[in-house]
Structure 1
Amino acid sequence: MGELFVGGTDTSSSTIQWIMAEIINSPNTLRKLRKEIDSVVGRTRMIQETDLPKLPFLEAVFKEGLRLHGPSPLLIRKFQEGYKIRGGFYIPENTTLVVNAYAIMRDPNFWEDPDEFKPERFMGDLKPEEEARREQALRYIPFGIGRRACTGEKLSGIFVRTVIGVMVQCFDWEIKGDKVNMEEAGGRIFLGMAHPLECTPSPRALNHPLPSHLISSSST
């Protein structure tokens, strides 16, 4: 239970840091995302979970962030019985299989400019049936795939997208220097930032008051 709790909270907070870092490093993405939120949600209230289905670019930003910075870069499975896979290879019972999801989601054979943050790759040019086929082909697997996929996928998607939406809608963000350092931390089960994101928020001019708990801290 401890592993489930720590894993679920740590991966969500880490994902939010990575995605916000990518957004801050990409002013065009920030402007486009903010424009979508303002046009759908307006400037008189804060974004809510019910708004998420009408914000496709926010979902694309979320998916691209997970493609580049999936919280679990390695997926570990154990064969309960012997199995023969494609190509004639036989895997004995009790064999431990480690899938490098990080490498798969950055494979240049599957992704154009794989190391670049391009949320547009998940927009309208990708039809739902093609997206399903891509996941089945093991090209996009931040939550794993099949019966052993992460059961928290839907919940984390709602939570992370809502948090990112609020942070983009309600604040401008300043950092020291021109770019956020995107170096990855080593020696951890979950993929984190070597230098945790440090930035200073300033409230945007909106037509609704920000809750006090959102403006009580000067930095995060």
Structure 2
Amino acid sequence: MAQSSVTEAGANTAEAFWKSIAWGMSLESATVGVLVVTLVILYFLSLARERKDLPPGPLPWPVVGNLVDLASGGLPHIFLTKLASKYGGLMYLRLGSKPCIVISSAAAAKEMFRKSNEANFSSKNKGLFIEIISDNYRTLAHSPYGPHWRQLRRFVTSELFSPKRHASYQNAREDELRNMMRVLSEDCAKGDALKNLKSWFRELNANLMTKMLFNKSGDACREERMELEQSFEAILTTSMKSAVGDYIPSLRFITKLQGVDRAFKDLRDLWIQIGGKFMELEERRTSRADDHKQFQPDFVDLILAEPLDNGKPMSDTTLALQIMEFLFAGTDTGATVSEWAVAEVIGNPQVLKQAREELDAVVGGDRLMQESDIPNLPFLEAIVKEAFRLHPPVAVTLNRLAVEPAEAWGYTIPAGSQLTVNMYAIHRDPEVYENPDEFNPQRFIDRPEVNHLSGFDSYELIPFGLGRRMCPGANLGNTMVSLMLGNLIHSFDWSLPNEQSLESFRRDNKEERFGVMSTRKEPLVLVARPRDNVASC
């Protein structure tokens, strides 16, 4: 009897013990649950206060903000366009700790870059890649808006891109075009008519840029030009590497652990090396000193002598990176748009037929199309505009900065905001363009007043950027795309390789490669044959 009582008492004690443990655990769980709910409520209350006067946008995650959404969304310009269809043409994201305003409609672009805001938005966003590749923000594309940038911009515009300079290089443009048309004709004569057009466009543009910058023919820089093309592929991939420390400063160590900063520095060193080969600085300094009477300065000589960096000439390092910046912008962007343009025309036989009829009527059959023909070729001009609309070289720019707080449509734009201009979305704005995904040059025949070379007026078509930071070489780029496209349509018949069907070609033509530029996923390869009774060189 006593033994039974002891056993029963022990069981009761054990039961009480486990009940107390279970009660304690449930109390702890309840406490944790209440704490989590409280923190979530506080986070969303804080978020609501923070976003009170900001444009609409998706809710950010704690710490990382909307970086997770962007990282998992595929091609950035397409993902941001889908978001804009829900949140509107002016959208707010938070990238880590950095506020970001995404501009995705023509009306939003016009509002954001109105006169009272434009100067405030003329500086560039900073980041590790830009810092390294621009020699600490010293080159034209990446300098902060201010005295250094204005002086450099004036000099470059005057010596490279002014109307007078543009006219002075007309013979050089037509000579280089004639040479490359001859190369294409000779390939056809040898039966080697399968052409990678991106490479052809790049070579032609690179030849012209070497003439403008160094007064050298393409043959004189063949080795450097091959290295230049290889470096283009490097920058298209390296620049897309994520430097998470740009957005979450406390995680800068991850950038180093991933080797991202080393990759950026390797690309910078490659650019300095190639730029140095092109410029031959020691040789030109020696020849200038030895024979100053016979010395004929080119652009590099002029910029070497100009006090553009706090009253001093550019350092050799900055100059090499600046020259490579010009070569990249003047070569690859035009080649990218031209490749897309040819693909769109080949995929639309009626457009090809109409363009060729116009060219035959204006140019005839005994010569190449020339720059003087362009004003008389409105349908070709409409094709070029439509190509720039559907395929701007840089579909989404991440590099504008709001230096001071601003206001747009009643919303607050915080100081320090990154301004992202989604040209892909703006150029497909359904409020402006009917059937915006369709390649239809007729839309610009009906609206010839749309000026894609302005940067201040036609906000619905801005392939060269906006405001005072728009590309200074816009006129040159447009001229080269028009010349290359017009002559290829006029002088050659084009067909698809390997008996590919037109439907299959059109389907493939929509595929893009992930990168800083909107390039085709696969290079455009076509079969060329000179047209009968039409000059091809």
Cα-to-partner distance string for 1:6-57 (whole Å, 9 max, x where unaligned): 1331111111110000000011001100000110111111101111111010
Q: How far apart are the structure 1 equivalents of 2:413 and 2:338?
A: 40
Residue in 2 aligned with 1:203? 530
**Larger radius of gyration between Structure 1 and Structure 2:** 2
Equivalent of residue 401 in structure 2, options 73, 78, 94: 78
Deviations 1:134-162 (A, max 9, x none): 97362211111221211111001111100
Alignment of 1:87-106 (within 5 A): 87-92=410-415, 94-106=416-428
User: Distance in 2 between the 1:114 and 1:207 partners?
Assistant: 35
How many residue pairs match? The answer is 207
Structure 1 alignment gaps of length 5 or more: 212-220
Q: 1:145 aligns with which of 466, 469, 472?
A: 466
Secondary structure of the structure 2 residue equivalent to 1:110: coil
Deviates more, 1:132-141 or 1:199-208: 132-141
What's the offset of the Cα at 1:186? 3.2
Instruction: Work out whether residues 402 and 413 of structure 2, in 8 Å CA contact, stay in contact via their aligned partners in 1.
Output: no
Give the residue type in structure 2 aligned to 1:142: P
Which portions of structure 1, spanning 4 or more consecutive aligned residues, are displaced by more than 4 angstroms? 130-135
Alignment partner, residue 175 of structure 1: 496
* Whole-angstrom CA distance in 1 between matches of 2:528 and 2:473: 29
Distance verdict in 2 for CA 1:4–1:96, change over 3 Å: farther
Which of the pair is proportionally richer in helix?
2
Percent identity, aligned pairs only?
36
Aligned to 2:352: 30
* Alpha-carbon distance, 1:91 to partner: 2.3
C-alpha separation between the residues in 2 aligned to 1:201 and 1:145? 37
SS at match of 1:199: strand
Amino acid in structure 2 at the alignment position of 1:84: E
Q: Which runs of no fewer than 5 residues in structure 2 stay unpaired? A: 1-321
Aligned alpha-carbon RMSD (Å): 2.1
Residues in 1 aligned to 2:393 and 2:433: alpha-carbon distance in whole angstroms? 19
Q: Secondary structure at the match of 2:364?
A: coil
Partner of residue 119, structure 2: none
**1:131 Cα offset (Å):** 5.6
2 CA distance for matches of 1:137 and 1:206? 40
Does 2:10 align with 1:10?
no
Which residue is 2:484 aligned to? Answer: 163
Give, as a single letter, the amino acid of the residue that structure 1 aligns with 2:330. Answer: G
Contact 1:66-1:142 within 8 A present in 2 as well: yes
2:237 equivalent in structure 1: none
| Mapped contact 1:174–1:201 kept (Cα < 8 A) | yes
Tell which has more relative contact order, 1 or 2 (C-alpha 8 A, sep 6+).
1
